[in-house]
Structures are given as structure tokens and as C-alpha cells.
Amino acid sequence: MAKEIERIVDQMDRAFSGDAWHGPSLMSLLEGVSAEDAAKRPIAQAHSIWELVNHIGAWNKIVERRLRDEIVTVTPEMDWPFVPLASDITWKRALDALKESRAQLRRTVEQMQDEQLDENPSSLPDSRYVILHGLVQHDLYHAGQIAVLKKAL
């Protein structure tokens, strides 16, 4: 019988880069997106794909730190990191940073025990269980935004 941690990691993987039930995973939506398109704002007042990628990566890091009981005060700059001038190199770096932040988070989650899921890390109001499911929801919410932005390009 699978442990709950294994089931949560499976859901994280499906939303991020796997075979998601709802449709395309986050990483499959990002395939073929150019640096130029990632930086565009095809919908007024909406974030760009690049901003969303940086934001998702930032929350991978924030959640990973919180799971390790680190107190993290999220600043606006941390929540929505700066997007550099668009180039193929800086876009590849952004995608690589997103993948690495998820890999680190995944490693931390895989090391957890099911008993830790009911604990609230760093005096947060939510348990690790709620935080991890929230992360999956966060990925899917922003993946949907990226899908819409791609159609609007």
C-alpha cells in the first residue's frame, strides 16, 4: 500500500510534468514557448508567462523552506521575482531554475514521513498536508493561466 507522501508526490509530478487528469501539465504547456512570447503581455493587466514561471519557482522554494520548519516572510519581490530582459539564454535559465526548484522541493517531500503531514511547520496555520495540496492547486491554477496566455498570443 502506498504511503500518503508517495501519493502526494505523484500528484505533484502529474501537475508539474506528468500525465495530469485535467489536461496538459505545467511543463508541457511551456514546451515550445519562446523567450519573446514568454515576456509578452497578450492580456492587459495579466502577468506574462515568464512572470508566472518565476512565481511558481519562487513558491517551490518558499514551500520547501517552510516544510523544513524555516520561517519565511514572503516579500512582494520574493513572491513575483524580477524578469530580466528577454533572451533565449535568460528564458532557459528561468525554466532551469523552475525545474531545479521543483526537484529540490520533491526531494524534501520524499524525505518526509506520513506522520509529519498533520504538523503545522514554523507556526503556520496550515498543516504540511494542506500546504502540499495547496502547492498542487497553485501549479494547476497558474498552468491554466499559461494556457490562456498561449492562446491569446
Domain count, the chain: 1
Give the pLDDT of residue 84: 94
Kindly report the CATH number assigned to the domain that includes residue 10: 1.20.120.450
- pTM: predicted TM-score of the whole model, two decimal places: 0.96
Q: Could you report the per-residue pLDDT of 56-83, keeping only the tens digit for each?
A: 999 999 999 999 999 999 999 999 999 9
Instruction: Going from the first residue of the chain to its last (153 residues), give the mean pLDDT of each consecutive group of 10, the final group possibly shorter.
Output: 91 94 94 98 96 98 96 96 96 98 98 96 92 97 97 96
DSSP letters for the chain: ---HHHHHHHHHHHHHTS--SSS--HHHHHTT--HHHHH---STTSPPHHHHHHHHHHHHHHHHHHHTT------HHHHS-------HHHHHHHHHHHHHHHHHHHHHHHT--GGGGGS-GGG-SS-HHHHHHHHHHHHHHHHHHHHHHHHH-
What residue numbers bound the domain in which 58 lies?
Answer: 4-152
